[in-house]
Each structure stands twice: as C-alpha cells, then as structure tokens.
Structure 1
C-alpha cells in the first residue's frame, strides 16, 4: 500500500494490483539516478502500477484538467486472491485498516473511485458490493459478459470490451478463415465459461461446429492438462480456441510439448493473446502461427521515454537535474538506438495493452472529475439544478459524470461508455511469428472494430499471417471436405451438421455451388450436364431425315414406291396375257396403286412432326392400307365365287361381275373412313413434347389423341387381313391355274406376322424408335404383299416374254 501526500486539495483513487508484492520494488521507476533492469520494467502487474502513477503525474501537471487539485492513490496487492480483494475494498469503504459494514470513518481527501479488479470473478463480487453504495468502479481488465448487466452492477465501468464482443470477434475470425471444425478449451470460471458459451453460440449461428469442449480445471495443480491434451491430439479438428488466461494456458502448453502435439493452430482469447509466455523457447514450435484477439494497443509517451532509458542504459538530456551531479557512467540517449538489437521478446512498447488500459481508466476518472469541477450552479444536473461539491461529493454524483464521460486520447481514440458501462469494442487481430533470430513477435494482421462502418468491422490481411506449417495458404480444419458442385451435403445421423457425406444430385437436379444443402431441379426444357453443375437445353429428338436411320428409311420408302409402279407398267404392257386376265386386271392395278401409296405414306412419319402431319398421317395410313387389304379381300372372294359359279345349276354367276369387287372395296373403305372421321372429330392426334419417356430429351412426337381409336384402326386392318387369310387358306386347293389363293394366303400370313410383331416392338421402344418401328412395319408389310402377290406373276410374264419368238 502506498500513502501519497497530496496538496493543496487532493482526491484519492483506490487501485488493486495483482501477482506481486509492492514492497519489493517500492521505488521502482521513480525518477532517480538508479537504473533498473528491463525485465523488472516489464513485469505485467508492475507495469500497471507504474502506468497508474504516470497517469496521475501527467494529470496533476496539466492545469487544464483539475486546476488546484491533486490526484493521489492508495494501492492494495490482492495477490490474485478473492478474499484479499474483498478485504481491501471494504477497508476503503470503511476508511480504517479494518472493515466495519455500513460505517465510514475517514478524514482528508474524498475517495473518488476504485480501479480494478483485473479478474472478472473478483470484479463481479466487488461490483455487487460497490453497486449498493453507488460507488464508482472502473476495471482495466475484467471482460466477463455478466458485468454488462447494469441493473445488477450499476456502478461498474471498464476500459476493456465485454466478452460478448470478443466472442463475436473470435467467431468472425474462425468463420472468415473457413474453419468449420474447431475445438474449444476454456477455464472453469466466469471468464472462460461465459466467454466460450457466447463463442459457441456465435459459431453455431455462422454454421461452424464444435469438435470438443473441455474445461481447464483451475482447482487442479496440472489444470487437467493430460486429459485435455489427449482430446486435442486425437481430435480431427486442426484449430483449437483457448479461452483462458496465460496462467491457465501454461500447463496446457507444457503438456502439449510433452505429448509432442503438432499440426494444431491455436486461437487465443485476449486473456493470453499477448502473453509473455511466448518468451519460453520450448513453446516456440507450438505457438508459432497462433492467432487471436488482443486489446487495442496504445502508447504512453512518458512510458516509452522511461523504457528507452532502462533498455539502453542511458539518459535523455532533458532529464538532467542541474542541482545534481550527472553520472558520467551513464551515456546520453540519442533516440536513434535500434530496438531490435535488444533481442528481447518484451521490446514492443506499443504492445503494453493492459498497461494502456490502466492508463485509460485513470483518465476516465480524471475527466469525470473535470466535468464535475466545471459544473456551474444553476446549470447542474442535480436537484434544483445544483452541482456537486468537488471537495465533498457523493459517490453517486461522480457516477453520474462517469456515465456521460467522453474524451479523446492522444492516439485519437474516443473514450465513452454505453448504457451497460462498456467502452467501444475495438480489438487487434495478432499473429505470433518467429523472427529470424528465434524471438516471438506479435504482429498485428487485422482488427475487429465495432465502431467502424458495417463493411469494415472485421478486417484481416491473411497474406501477412505466418502459419506453423510454413505455408502461405490458410490451414484447413473441417469435419468433412467440401462437396463440389453436383453434390449436396447429407448430414450424418447423430453427428454435428459439419459432418456430412457428399451425395450426388438426383436425376434432373443440379447444385451449382460448393457445399450446397439441396439440389435444384432444372426447368422442364433443360437437363443437367454430366457433372450436374449446370442446366443445359435438352436435346430435341425426332426421326429426322438427316440422321442415318431416317435417311435409310426415307430412301427405302421412295425406292419401294416405284416397284409397284414398275409392276403396273408390266401389267399394262401384258394385260392381254392369260395370267393378267386371270388375276382380275382392274383389281390388280388398283392394288398396285394402293401399294405404291402405302410405301409413300411412310414418309409422313419421317422428319419434323408438324401439327398437320400429326393430324392426318395415321388416318392416311389406315385408309391406304384399308384400300390395299380390301383389294386383296375382294380378289380372294372373287376367286371363290368364280369357282363356285362354274358348278352346274349355280346362281352365283351374277356375283362374279366387277361391280361386286368394287362394292366389297367400297364397304370396307367406308367402315374405316367412318372410324377415322370419328377419331379426328373427337380426339384428334396432336403434336406434343414428351419429357417423360426420356427425361434428358425433348421427344417431339405425335400424340395419337385416342389410343383406342388408333388400335381400333389398326385392328380393323388386321380383321380385313385375317378374313382374307382365312378365305384364301380355305380356297388354296381350288383348281386355279395360277394358284392365286395360295399367293394371297402367303401374303396375308406375312402381313399379319409383321403387324403382330409390331405391337410388342412398338410398346418396348421409345421416342423416335417407336416411329421407326411403325415405318419399318409399313415397309415390311407392303413388301410382303408385293413379293408374295406379284413376284411369281412377274416371273411368269418375263419367262413367257423371253420364250415367245
């Protein structure tokens, strides 16, 4: 504890400092002729105490802040123990060396505020008590989110951001670096558990997953390090967030070195992100590449000056006291000394983050007192617009000004508090890097600034980060590798959402992004590419003249249509011959013409299926083939009638006249015509785009409108052919010179065979091949009639022609 004499009027600031005994270095860094060591200068808690002293000295020398008022302080060393913290706070409230609840006995300068504690758990207890008295408390290092509850802790303020913002910043850091599979390790206290809970919530919101969540048991001497490190080592997570203080992280690092854990990236909370633990060389391999958040750095000019003198064992000329002899053993500081030559991990004076936070806390109280002192009666904020008496004010009166304090530091940073007593959340993103000399450096690689515009809150330069792998690329930490386009992420049952299997998109669907959760269906006229990453226009399919199959069928149809015409020419040329006369010359000519049309009608099935083609092609096919089969049926019946009419006493001679043949043909055609007209009137065929048969294609086809009508039309042809076949078969042994009935039997047998085979073939084929099967059936059945009916006759005619003289 320091007792500092103050005059002509003074105010006291109570401060708690941890982890060292003040009496050991009570004269440390006082202005004197003695020179202390650099290491002593940089003991964290000693720095904080000296920052407090320098801040007060700077304020007291500045007449514009508190004129004629001197600020003093009393310091208590809590040794990082909660009971000492509580005891010191109660003594301050009591004003005695022992504490008496609800009683104050003190004289002299009023006590303005308490600076501390640095430990969140301790600050929670102190703030609960101080809040009862509305006594201002400003912490320089307590970051627990609980302390943001200004209803429970109405008099608590701090110069460091709440862990709410740190957790969000750490989550943004993890997500920005695309780490979706991370391990969490935190101290089992308010700082660690509340912070890690907030971080876990932010990670879940961002879609990242937690591989494990372990507690550093502070009640254990080894902090449960063997178990924690075993989990870290066996986990597939490459990134581990350590949410703790350097005091708790030390045993973990020691155990990691012992178990030779490699290939892990450590993410540091601000509790140890700039810790001097990096000075231990045995941890260099582990800590190189560590990245984390740190309190925003700042500089204290007087601090740098003293550090410079201690670091280089020199004195600045301005410090020379003319009344005292100059120590000739101490050289003069030039300011151009090279700091890098110190080869010391502590030489970054801009990194005195917690020290700078203490410095800021003192300025906060001083500026609140300044605002109070500048108040004019009649314009005051209290009852009857009065002001507080700077010489005898109440704690709640200073509390009013602390809530509204607002000023700028020399660095340009603006200091103020929100409704929860929290300052603006600004963090540096630091990366631990090994220098060529083997020393560890904290390199600022970005920032997390909640006061910046939305697009600039989180900024980072990944190219300046040094990873422990030695590579420039950001290490990967995922449970499952990314699913490429064409796949979607299927969650594994009972595992976190970051653990999944990459499943190919179903037929007709695509995913055009990496790590898609679902696939999207292509439009009806599009189909996925082979990679299923993009929709392409579907191929339009129909039996085209340009493709080999269409060309072959078209050429065959055209060529075949000339064959009946050639035969007809023979019949015209040799119509006087007995064979032509015996085969009913007129019916044979009509049959040959109908066969030529049968061949030609197949061309209506080839090429782009126009609507008008779709409307008439089946009807035309049915009518032409009905004419053809009707002629054969008429020929068959006429053969039977001609034989029966030759019997004695027969009355059938009148039925053998030509009009009988034409009547049979007319009746047969009329029935087919009625069927076709009915079909086209009620359910006509139409052009359709079929995407069901083959989803990857658009099949342009003619929908028959009424399948029943189509099969009735085809069945009627079959009926006519069957009747012709039966009649011809029964008459095959009649005494006919040219066996006409036998030829009709074979031709109808071949005709029926073709169309019976067509039925299963058409049902099993798809798309253009269905059309090709019908064209083939038309050609085959027509050729069967031509060959069976007329080939023998043509052979006889040619033979007789050659034998004639």
Structure 2
C-alpha cells in the first residue's frame, strides 16, 4: 500500500533544492533498508550539488535498557548530529530512529552541549506517532519537522468510533486493556500488576483527552493505508470469488474453494482500480504498486505536549514535471532556536559577489574557499556557484560583480589624438594648397617648366588628396569610409609615386636621346611621362577593382582583441587583396627609388634625381616601418599609425620635392632663369 519509493526520493531532493540546502545529515537504521536508502539517494543528491555532511546509523538491535551501550552511543553521536554545520537532517527508518534521536536530544540537554535548532526531514516510513514511552521526552525538540506521508483523506464518522471505545466494551480485546493502562497510567481492577499506590482505571476515561504524541483521533496516513488495504483485499476477494463461481459453473461443481493462497491474489491487484467509501480512486500499476502521491506536513508542537500536523505541500506523480512538487512556505513553522528562517544548511556560506568557489582539497565538493574571480569574469547574486564570463560585448566592472557594456573604441574627432591628427591633416592640406598656388603662379619659370609641369601638378594634387584621405580614418567607420579608406590611399599614392617615376624616366630618356641615332629619341616629350603615370595608375586601379568586386572592406566590430573595449573598425574584407594593393605600391616605390638613384648625377641644373631619391628613401622607410607597427597595435592606435604613415610619407614627398623649388622661387629668383638651366662647363 506504499507507492513506489522513487517518488519520495524525488521529493526529498526537490525539498532540499527548494530551500537551497546543500549540506545535509542522514540518520538511518543500521540495516539493509537503511543501506539501500543511502545507496539510492546519495547519487541523486550529488547530481544536484548536494552533499551529505554526516551519516549516523542507528543500531536496530541495541535495547534502550542497556544503559552503558546506550550512553556511549549517545556520547559519540550527539556531537556529530547536534554540532554539525548541517541544519537539516534526513531521518529514515522506523520508530527506533525517533527514539534514538530523542535520546540524543536528552543527552545534549543533560550535558548542556550548545546546539541550535535543526530541521528534521522525516520519511514516510518513519512512524512519528510518539507513544507512551516518550512521556519523559520534550517534544518541542521536533518542532518544525517536515515529514512525508502517504496521502490520506478524512473519513466521516471516524472520530466518533474511538470515542465509544472503553475497556469494558472490549473485554475480549487484550490490546485495548493494555493500551488503556499505558495511556492513562492506571491499572484495571483486578490487574495483577496493580499496587497499593497505583491508580485504578475507571473505564470512563476519554481518549480525546490524550495529547497527540500518544493518541491521535484523526485519520493518519498509516491508518488510511490500512483502511485502503482492507478495501483492496475485499475487492480482490470479490473478483477472485466471481472468477471462481464462473469457473465452477463451467466445471459443473457446486462449491467454491475457499482455501485461497495469498500469491493467488497478486495478479488481480495489478492494474486494479476502485473507489473507496470517501470516493477516492485507488489505482495500482502493472507491478501491483499503489499509484498515489505523498503529502508534505509540518509538525507544530505546543507547550502542553500536544502537536498538530499541518499539510503544507504535496508530491503528485501524475502532475506535470514542474508541478509535481509544491510547498507553501507561508504555512511552515520553524524551530525557535534557528538563527534565520528559512534556515541555511551549507558547508560554506555563499561567496560574495565578485568571488568564486574554489574546491578544498580532501573535502567534499560542497565545501570550498571563496577566491576573487579571475580577470574577465564576474559573479553576482544570480551567479554564485562559480565565476562566469560576460557576453562578448560586455566586460566585468571593477568589482567584478556585474557585466557592463564594453566601451566603443574608435578614433573619433573628439578624441585628443583625433583632434591632433585632424589638425595636422588640415594644416598640411593648406600647406600643399599653398605650394600648389606658388607653382601655378610661377608655371612659366624655368624651374617649373624644366621638370614637366603636368607631372608636378599631378604630384601636388595627389599629395593634397592623400592629406584629405587621412581624415577618412577619423570618426566612426561606416560603409562609405570603409570602402574609400584603404583603396583611396593606395590609389592616391600610386599616382603620386608613378608621377615621380615618370619624372625620373623622362629625364633619363631625354639624356639618352641626346646621343645621335638613339632609339629613345621618339619617346622624348610629355607623352612618355603621361603614359607612365597612366599605366602605373591603371594597374593599381585594376587591383582595387578586383578587391572591391570580390571582397570589399566593410564596417566590423572586434570583441576579442581587447578585453575591455569594443573595437569598431573597418574590416579589409580580403586581406590578400589588401596586401596586394599595398605590395604593388611598395614595388612601384622601390623601382622609383632605383631609377632616381641612377639618375641623381645627371648634369641638368634642375634635375630632381637627388630630391626624388631622398624623398623615396623617406617614403619607403615610413611604409616599411608601418607594417610591423600596424600589426602590433590595436584599436584606435592602429588607425592612428596608418594616419601617421600617410601623412609622414606625404610630408616627405612634399618637403623633399617642393621645398627646394619654393626656396628658389621665393628667395633665389636669380637661379630661376633660362641661362641657369645647365651648369657651366657642360
């Protein structure tokens, strides 16, 4: 008549989880049933993060009259049970467990051992009906106990039945007489055990006057189980007799066999169901086990020694998984000695926010040390078992108690570094414009005309655009700026470097064509320079077009590179195409440097070979140092490195090429004459 025990195990686990009790003691009988209980429930508890603080096994064969052994058992068990940090103890067994626990409480009281209140979780197998043997014990010790019991119903008229029981009405029932004498502490007239000092039972004593620890007038779960067992047996016998009568009619026999064996009824109980007298459906499964839930009750004691069981929850195996366990905390009463309610039962208190749990060596996993969370991790009231990582776009605060959004990181116009670089870009743009104005104004002078005026204009416009392009690296990246940043810079510099290459090639070809019959005579003129610029620029344009058409740059967010910042950047799209474009510009600069170096000693007074050589040395040095510096920086400083490289290389070209020209135009106009085009002696 007891349901499958697995439901009670599930209920114990759910009860512990509900209140967060992870450090729990166990007190069981030292027999096979106690061993099976521990063997079954401990793995279930471990899976849910619950540990057993201690396990006390009650001797099932030690008589309480053996005071010496009883004293030593109490002396050894009391500190374990009462002094443990576990405020919750699960009791499994029968009335013997309750008796020994009461004896332990009595020993604690006598020895004045300090002990706080405990929460006793009592399984349905443990009969908590304290009989007359416990009149000497203080039942207040069990106040607030939580027990499981088979679901029961109140029967109409049940309380009237025990009220009419007297030892005189049940003279042939020896149990009633013995119970009467023990309950009312008296002896029936004529009892051989009566003495002159003993009181005599009148037989008119009322059972309802007895306190509940000794007699209950209500239907307990055990009484209800016995009641249903009788109904079950009646229904099974009815079915058996009906089947026997049917078989008798088939066999032609007159009498029904009444020598029924117990095992013959087992098959009829399987999958049987019926309604008892209170309308409750009693159902058995295919194994003959009762399908029933369990009630969760709270023991409330009173100063007069009586108590009441208050139903505070239930376990319903037929409900949905999340509705199977329910408990009403508001109805629960706790032991008065508990420091807090609901009490905690932990090996260690929960770590404060910002700290995580670290297992103690040699102890159970429920015992731990609280250590600060590692960098990049946090813990708060919701995350207490361990430190956790924030989401990719968040970072722990300084106390590591919560996650806060990462600070967006990009080079903005409001940033001090952005302001400086913007000011420099604008300043050099104005300087380039001023130089361009000077060159245009003196376009008819020999120093401008001698070095291919058109290529000079192309170079100045390219340098001006390079300073403007550097401004696109400042501010929050968007689709337009990402498309134009890298492609614009490499394109502008390719045009600028190709114009310098064209200048150098033009001078070299001009001197080569001066020799009679030289094949380069047909290449002399402006067309050669324009062709070189156009060819070199078209090759770079082809690389950029392939880049933009296959995998163009796009705005991106990098959450991994910096732990505390959210890098907003332009993703190059195809890294291969990015380095191809950059590499082509480097190759073009290298060949320009070689060509200018070879032409540096040509005798033309206005030969720019030396200046181009020096400017290309500066240009190449800047971009060679750019690559490792760019790869070693992160966030906005990576962008700042690229801006600095753009402006430094542009300034190098502007200063090395045009400072001598502006010097001659502004301060040495005597050198800017047609007669000075060639040095004397050549």
Q: TM-score, normalised by structure 2?
A: 0.68
- The secondary structure found in structure 2 opposite 1:694 is coil
| Contact 1:246/1:277 (<8 A) preserved | no
Within the alignment, does 1:215 sit opposite 2:57 as a pair?
Answer: yes
CA drift of 1:228 comes to: 4.0
CA drift of 1:620 comes to: 1.4
CA drift of 1:711 comes to: 4.3
Q: Which residue does 2:496 correspond to in 1?
A: 625
Choose 353-362 or 698-707, whichever is displaced more: 353-362
CA drift of 1:560 comes to: 3.2
| Contact 1:615/1:684 (<8 A) preserved | no
Higher relative contact order (CA 8 A, sep 6+): 2
Q: Which residue does 2:147 correspond to in 1?
A: 292
Q: Which residue does 1:243 correspond to in 2?
A: 92
1:536-547 equivalences in 2 (<5 Å): none
| Contact 2:211/2:306 (<8 A) preserved | yes
| Contact 2:502/2:533 (<8 A) preserved | no
Q: Deviations over 1:257-291 (max 9, x none)?
A: 25544353221123243435996686556422221
Q: Which residue does 1:670 correspond to in 2?
A: 535
- The secondary structure found in structure 2 opposite 1:699 is strand
CA drift of 1:430 comes to: 2.3
Within the alignment, does 1:694 sit opposite 2:561 as a pair?
Answer: yes
Q: Structure 1 pair 700/167, CA: closer, same or farther in 2 (3 Å)?
A: same
Aligned pair partner of 2:260 in 395, 411, 422: 395
Q: Which residue does 2:66 correspond to in 1?
A: none
Q: Structure 1 pair 548/669, CA: closer, same or farther in 2 (3 Å)?
A: farther
- The secondary structure found in structure 1 opposite 2:586 is helix
| Contact 2:410/2:567 (<8 A) preserved | no
Higher Rg of the two aligned structures: 1
CA drift of 1:787 comes to: 3.0
CA distance in 2, matches of 1:578, 1:363: 127
| Contact 2:408/2:567 (<8 A) preserved | yes
| Contact 1:237/1:479 (<8 A) preserved | yes
Aligned pair partner of 1:527 in 385, 393, 409: 393
CA distance in 2, matches of 1:372, 1:631: 116
Q: Which residue does 1:786 correspond to in 2?
A: 654
CA distance in 1, matches of 2:53, 2:367: 10
Aligned pair partner of 2:123 in 269, 273, 280: 269
Q: Structure 1 pair 294/667, CA: closer, same or farther in 2 (3 Å)?
A: closer
Q: Structure 1 pair 426/685, CA: closer, same or farther in 2 (3 Å)?
A: closer
Aligned pair partner of 2:159 in 298, 301, 308: 301
- The secondary structure found in structure 2 opposite 1:475 is coil
CA drift of 1:472 comes to: 7.4
Q: Deviations over 1:27-53 (max 9, x none)?
A: xxxxxxxxxxxxxxxxxxxxxxxxxxx
CA distance in 1, matches of 2:244, 2:27: 55
CA drift of 1:187 comes to: 0.6
Q: Any stretches of 5+ residues in structure 2 without a counterpart?
A: 63-68, 168-179, 185-201, 670-682
- The secondary structure found in structure 2 opposite 1:705 is helix
Within the alignment, does 1:431 sit opposite 2:298 as a pair?
Answer: yes
Q: Structure 1 pair 653/164, CA: closer, same or farther in 2 (3 Å)?
A: closer
1:639-650 equivalences in 2 (<5 Å): none
CA distance in 1, matches of 2:436, 2:6: 101
| Contact 1:544/1:608 (<8 A) preserved | no
CA drift of 1:459 comes to: 3.5
| Contact 1:165/1:425 (<8 A) preserved | no
| Contact 1:623/1:672 (<8 A) preserved | yes
Q: Which residue does 1:460 correspond to in 2?
A: 327
Choose 585-594 or 287-296, whichever is displaced more: 585-594
CA drift of 1:444 comes to: 2.6
- The secondary structure found in structure 1 opposite 2:261 is helix
Q: Which residue does 2:21 correspond to in 1?
A: 179
Q: Structure 1 pair 557/378, CA: closer, same or farther in 2 (3 Å)?
A: same
CA drift of 1:243 comes to: 0.9
CA distance in 2, matches of 1:441, 1:433: 5
Q: Structure 1 pair 209/465, CA: closer, same or farther in 2 (3 Å)?
A: same
Aligned pair partner of 1:608 in 478, 483, 501: 478
Within the alignment, does 1:713 sit opposite 2:584 as a pair?
Answer: yes
Q: Deviations over 1:198-222 (max 9, x none)?
A: 4446545666443444422224443
Q: Deviations over 1:455-488 (max 9, x none)?
A: 7654322221112255774333345667999999
CA distance in 1, matches of 2:657, 2:472: 26
Q: Which residue does 1:592 correspond to in 2?
A: 460
Within the alignment, does 1:765 sit opposite 2:633 as a pair?
Answer: yes
Q: Structure 1 pair 184/720, CA: closer, same or farther in 2 (3 Å)?
A: same
Q: How many pairs align?
A: 607
- The secondary structure found in structure 2 opposite 1:186 is strand
1:12-31 equivalences in 2 (<5 Å): none
| Contact 1:488/1:511 (<8 A) preserved | no
Q: Structure 1 pair 545/265, CA: closer, same or farther in 2 (3 Å)?
A: same
| Contact 1:279/1:440 (<8 A) preserved | no
Cα RMSD after superposing both structures: 5.7
CA drift of 1:728 comes to: 7.6
CA distance in 2, matches of 1:614, 1:748: 23
| Contact 1:545/1:554 (<8 A) preserved | yes
| Contact 1:377/1:386 (<8 A) preserved | no
Q: Structure 1 pair 406/168, CA: closer, same or farther in 2 (3 Å)?
A: same
Within the alignment, does 1:774 sit opposite 2:642 as a pair?
Answer: yes
CA distance in 1, matches of 2:320, 2:624: 80
Q: Structure 1 pair 499/552, CA: closer, same or farther in 2 (3 Å)?
A: same
1:547-558 equivalences in 2 (<5 Å): 553=421, 556-557=424-425
CA drift of 1:245 comes to: 2.3
Q: Structure 1 pair 388/366, CA: closer, same or farther in 2 (3 Å)?
A: farther
| Contact 1:543/1:550 (<8 A) preserved | yes
- The secondary structure found in structure 2 opposite 1:289 is coil
CA distance in 2, matches of 1:376, 1:746: 118
Q: Deviations over 1:574-598 (max 9, x none)?
A: 4566765677656544543443344
- The secondary structure found in structure 1 opposite 2:576 is coil
Q: Structure 1 pair 358/779, CA: closer, same or farther in 2 (3 Å)?
A: closer
Q: Structure 1 pair 211/686, CA: closer, same or farther in 2 (3 Å)?
A: same
CA drift of 1:350 comes to: 1.5
- The secondary structure found in structure 2 opposite 1:463 is helix
| Contact 2:266/2:288 (<8 A) preserved | no
CA distance in 1, matches of 2:121, 2:210: 28
1:71-86 equivalences in 2 (<5 Å): none
- The secondary structure found in structure 1 opposite 2:478 is coil
Q: Structure 1 pair 718/274, CA: closer, same or farther in 2 (3 Å)?
A: farther
CA drift of 1:242 comes to: 1.4
CA distance in 2, matches of 1:529, 1:277: 65
Q: Which residue does 1:84 correspond to in 2?
A: none
CA distance in 1, matches of 2:627, 2:321: 71
CA drift of 1:383 comes to: 6.6
- The secondary structure found in structure 2 opposite 1:445 is strand
Within the alignment, does 1:569 sit opposite 2:437 as a pair?
Answer: yes
